[in-house]
Chains A and B, each alone.
Chain A
Amino acid sequence: SQQGEEDPQALSIQEGENATMNCSYKTSINNLQWYRQNSGRGLVHLILIRSNEREKHSGRLRVTLDTSKKSSSLLITASRAADTASYFCAMNRDDKIIFGKGTRLHILP
C-alpha cells in the first residue's frame, strides 16, 4: 500500500529549538500535505506541497519534498509550547489520500 511512514514517532525538544519531522512514502504522488492535531481534536492543515515543488515556507514552518527519495520533511523553527501536538503527512495520488502514522511532538518549557 502507499502508506506513509513518519520518523520519529515521538520527539521532545526544548522550547526555542527547531523540530524536524520526516515522512517517507512508497509510490509516486501528486502532492503531500502536512497537518497538525492537538490532543484528540480535529486536524489543522499546515502546508500543501506539489510534486513539482521542492520547498515551501509558511511562517515558522518549512516543508521540503524530495520525490527521488520519496520523502518529505517538516521543520518547525523556534518552537513554542503551543506547537506541542501530533503532526501528520498526507499523501495524494489519483485523488486518494493516505495519512502517515504521525509524529508526536512535545515542547519542553
Chain B
Amino acid sequence: KAGVTQTPRYLIKTRGQQVTLSCSPISGHRSVSWYQQTPGQGLQFLFEYFSETQRNKGNFPGRFSGRQFSNSRSEMNVSTLELGDSALYLCASSLSQGMGLNEQFFGPGTRLTVL
C-alpha cells in the first residue's frame, strides 16, 4: 500500500497570504489528523477528521481550518499567514477515529516558510 502523501513538500509564502496543504491517507484509512511542528512548541495537534467531519480540534486560532472529502483526502488551510506559522505540517492517517487510540501513519510533511 502507498503511504500517506502530502503536497506540496515545501512552500514559501509571505505574511498575509493564505495557504492550502493537502494530505492523501493510506487507502482504507478514514481518519486524518494534522499536526504543526516547530522548534519552539514541538508537535502540536491541530485537528482530526473522520468521515468528513471534524472530530477533534486543538488550541489553534480560527485562521487554521480543514476539511475532509468523501475519499478521505484532507486539506488544511491557513489564512492571513503570520511569521510564526512557519513550521513543518504533518498529516497522519489511521483506520478509525481517535488518533490517540490507534496507530497513526504519518506523511513526510509540508515545510511551510512564511517571509
Contact = CB atoms under 8 A, between A and B. Distances in A.
Contacts of A33: 100, 103
A45 B4 CA distance: 13
B79 to A, nearest CB: 25
Interface in B95-110: 98-101, 103-109
Contacts, number: 60
A100 B106 CA distance: 17
Interface size class of B (residues with CB under 8 A): 20 to 34
B55 to A, nearest CB: 8
A90 B44 CA distance: 10
B106 A31 contact: no
B67 interface: no
A42 B56 contact: no
B100 A42 contact: no
Given A92-B101, A96-B56, A41 B109 contact: yes
Interface string A18-40: 00000000000011010100001
Contacts of B105: 45
Contacts of B88: 40
Given A40-B88, A99-B43, A45 B101 contact: no
Report which residue of B4, B45, B103, B104 has the largest number of chain A beta carbons within 10 angstroms of its beta carbon: B104
A97 B106 contact: no
A95 B55 CA distance: 10
16 contacts: A33-B100, A40-B109, A42-B4, A42-B90, A42-B107, A42-B109, A43-B43, A45-B105, A91-B100, A92-B100, A93-B100, A95-B100, A97-B99, A99-B44, A99-B45, A100-B42
